[in-house]
Amino acid sequence: MNKVRFIPEVEGLRGIAVLSVLLFHLNKSFLPGGYLGVDIFFAISGFLITSISISEFAATGSISIAEFYRKRIKRIIPLFSLVVLVTLIAGYLLFLPDYFLLLGRSIAASLTFTSNFFFSQNLDYFANNSNEYPLLHTWSLSIEEQFYFIWPLVLILSLRKFELKSIFKGLVVAIIASLIFADALRLLDASSSGIYFNSLPRFGEIAIGACLAFLFKLTDADWNKKFHRHASFLGLLLLAVSVIVINDTFWFPGLLCLVPCGGAALIIWGSRSQESHWGSRLLNNKYLRKVGDFSYSLYLWHWPVLAFTRYLTGSYEIPLHLLLIDLVLMFSLSYITRYFFENKFIALKWNLPKVFAVLLLVPFGFFWLATSSIEKNEGVPQRISHIEQFETETSFIEDKYCHNLENEECLFGNLKSHQRIYLIGDSNAGHFTPFIVSALGKSYLIEAKTVDTCPPLLSLTNTTKTDIKNVSNEHCFALLDQFKEDIGEQDIIVLAANWGNYISSFKDFEKDFRRTLQLLAGHKVVVIGRIPGVDSSQYNQYLRETYSPLYQKFELKSHISKLDLHNSLKPQTNANAKIKAIASEFNYVKFLDPLEINSNFWKTAPLSKENILVYKDAGHLNQYGSDLWGKLSAVKVQLIFREL
């Protein structure tokens, strides 16, 4: 079998790639385009794997698929399984049920090498909340394995049927097509985070490296030596532009991939001269090459370390002392596992069946059982002490209140009463249902119609211009259609919503809201303003430090106090003022400011006097809080509604 020449510059290039990713993940401001290090990895991987496969085909007339996967499993799976195991244990000790449930699902997705699809459906790669998911970085590993699942067979068939030059031309066309495809998708939906995780344009990036491998075979090493000498400089320049100029606001992936991947290809191409120049000396730096040698282990370890740190601190910005500890930890783990763990498995002489059974089936079988248990037990809340209070504090409203349920009728209160209240809106209306039932249920028949992200606008259509995703959903339109049919039967109509969100994201919200109030003429209308918001990072951190199994086990002190949490309460002054001003234009409409209804309730919010959270999250009451507020405010609320 022909040997592929070891290229030390490639090892240095790996070092640049992983350090770029690391700097970006430490803090985006450190290296705005550092995330493109992953794309450099894709190009390197495509070049190396394809070069080895072409050389094997040239020597033997075929490519051993069994040997290909035997080596791939030994190289990738053992360390991957170890990182997943450590992450699973850490998640068990630290995560609350919702995060632990998501961790279990992400493990299941990464085991089947589909985590890029999983994360495309669940989060935005560049959003701050994504920084707390410890296996997010496995999306790139999934894409690589998807590519290499089919690539050996494609190579065998292509090499047997076509000349190298024809395959090279076909790859060029396929690369351009895949990148244009990504840009076309972006034109159709510029906000789609799923494009970032899409496999097809990433296959194009890997194919850039594969294309370079064919070019190596098609040209002599002495061909155009002058260009070889300058290629490294040009490649390094392109990489510098990539990681410094490009940032997470650029359209990516797409044709822009040609900058980092093309830069990586030029550097590898320049290595053919085997001449010493400043570019080769930089890439041959022994420390950079050492980092490149354990780049896979550093890539796998760095992200979980940072994700758990951010989860524990509740902040994207990691304090300097913790950042230094994280760096020492991730480099130590990477070095140790590379040379005392990975190498032992790489050196194994086992055949494919044994490698497949021991290194793949056994650990994956264990993880399958573990993730199935996590899913079945809904994040295993049994790990938490005071589980009943935790569920009270973190639950929204029960299904009996019909939020997000398509019921014909959802009636509460005095079912014999001839006075009817009709509550409609989004989740910010939904969390008022227990409040209204507790305060007014003895005297009124109450009907609730609430759906997530559904503003109570009678003029809402699927052509309404808004920046909010999922606002034009069929469930919302069905609810509004039902509302139009039910209006005639109602005495009092209560509108509530996340007003500030719609004011800022709807082009003509104020006009549409006025039109809705005009159409409700002849009815008594109550518009409820938004409750104060809580600082989300402080709320989440308080909850984690109160209920995290590790904090409870060792009685660790929380650094977010009840007073801190209360002081983070922020009234929705601007949005409520705008809605109040519009409501005041109609004599049959009354605006209710939540802060003016039982001020004692808000003196301790987001906790009750009994130190139980009354907020489900940073912007919604939980059922306990809504019900409590209604009971405490019943006398005043009843008076307000009688005076309508």
Q: What is the CB-side half-sphere exposure of residue 121 using CA atoms within 13 A?
A: 8
By the 8 A CB rule, do 104 and 374 touch?
Answer: yes
Rounded Cα distance between 182 and 173, Å, is 15
Residue pLDDT, tens place only, 238-265: 999 999 999 888 888 889 999 999 999 9
Cα 304 to the center of its chain, rounded Å? 14
Which two structure tokens, joined as six digits, stand for 541? 């951190």
Beta bridge partners of 527: 495, 591
pLDDT computed for residue 1 by the predictor: 44
Average pLDDT value for the chain: 89
Residue pLDDT, tens place only, 339-368: 999 999 999 999 999 999 999 999 999 999
Which two structure tokens, joined as six digits, stand for 152? 């050996």
Rounded Cα distance between 366 and 211, Å, is 39
Rounded Cα distance between 376 and 278, Å, is 58
Question: Which residue shows structure tokens 């796998």?
Answer: 300
Tell which wins on pLDDT, 480 or 327.
Answer: 327
Q: In the structure, how many helices (H) and strands (E) does the chain have?
A: 29, 6
Which two structure tokens, joined as six digits, stand for 92? 């068990």
Rounded Cα distance between 631 and 61, Å, is 82
Q: Percent of the chain at pLDDT above 90?
A: 66
By the 8 A CB rule, do 182 and 195 touch?
Answer: yes
What is the pTM (predicted TM-score) of this model?
A: 0.86
pLDDT computed for residue 481 by the predictor: 86
Q: Percent of the chain at pLDDT above 70?
A: 92
Residues shown for the chain:
644
Give the three-state DSSP class for 441.
coil
Give the three-state DSSP class for 121.
helix
Q: Using 50, 70 and 90 to split pLDDT, how confident is the model at 112?
A: very high
pLDDT computed for residue 172 by the predictor: 94
Which two structure tokens, joined as six digits, stand for 643? 């005076």
Q: Which whole-number Å values give the CA distances from 196 to 116, 126, 173, 375, 395, in the listed order?
A: 9, 10, 21, 27, 33
DSSP assigned state of 61: S
By the 8 A CB rule, do 163 and 54 touch?
Answer: no
Beta bridge partners of 533: 570
pLDDT computed for residue 463 by the predictor: 55
Rounded Cα distance between 209 and 46, Å, is 4
Residue pLDDT, tens place only, 369-386: 999 999 999 999 999 988
pLDDT at 204 over 90: yes
The average pLDDT across 542-559 equals 81
First to last CA, the chain: 90
By the 8 A CB rule, do 291 and 301 touch?
Answer: no
Q: Which whole-number Å values give the CA distances from 429 to 348, 481, 628, in the listed order?
A: 62, 17, 16
Cα 404 to the center of its chain, rounded Å? 24
The average pLDDT across 592-610 equals 92
Amino acid at 644: L
Give the three-state DSSP class for 378.
coil
Rounded Cα distance between 619 and 533, Å, is 5
Q: Using 50, 70 and 90 to split pLDDT, how confident is the model at 4?
A: low
Q: Which whole-number Å values give the CA distances from 187 to 7, 176, 335, 468, in the listed order?
A: 39, 17, 43, 17
Question: Which residue shows structure tokens 């209604």?
Answer: 630
Question: Which residue shows structure tokens 């822009």?
Answer: 256
The average pLDDT across 482-488 equals 85
By the 8 A CB rule, do 129 and 410 touch?
Answer: no
95 Cβ contact list (under 8 Å, min separation 6)? 103, 311, 379, 548
Which two structure tokens, joined as six digits, stand for 242? 């990539």
Residue pLDDT, tens place only, 446-463: 999 999 988 999 887 655
pLDDT computed for residue 497 by the predictor: 95
Residue pLDDT, tens place only, 390-431: 999 998 988 888 888 876 678 899 899 889 999 999 999 999
Cis peptide before 152 (omega within 30 of 0): no
Rounded Cα distance between 259 and 313, Å, is 36
Which two structure tokens, joined as six digits, stand for 146? 């998807």
Which two structure tokens, joined as six digits, stand for 73? 């499993």
- 63 phi/psi in degrees, rounded to 5: -125, 125
Cis peptide before 253 (omega within 30 of 0): yes
Lowest mean pLDDT among 237-251, 430-444, 470-484: 470-484
Rounded Cα distance between 170 and 210, Å, is 11
The average pLDDT across 279-283 equals 79
pLDDT at 434 over 50: yes
The average pLDDT across 73-99 equals 95
Question: Which residue shows structure tokens 């040609």?
Answer: 258
Residue pLDDT, tens place only, 561-572: 888 888 989 989
In 316-465, at which residue ranges do the beta strands (DSSP E only) sit? 411-413, 420-425, 445-450
pLDDT computed for residue 114 by the predictor: 94
Rounded Cα distance between 598 and 639, Å, is 13
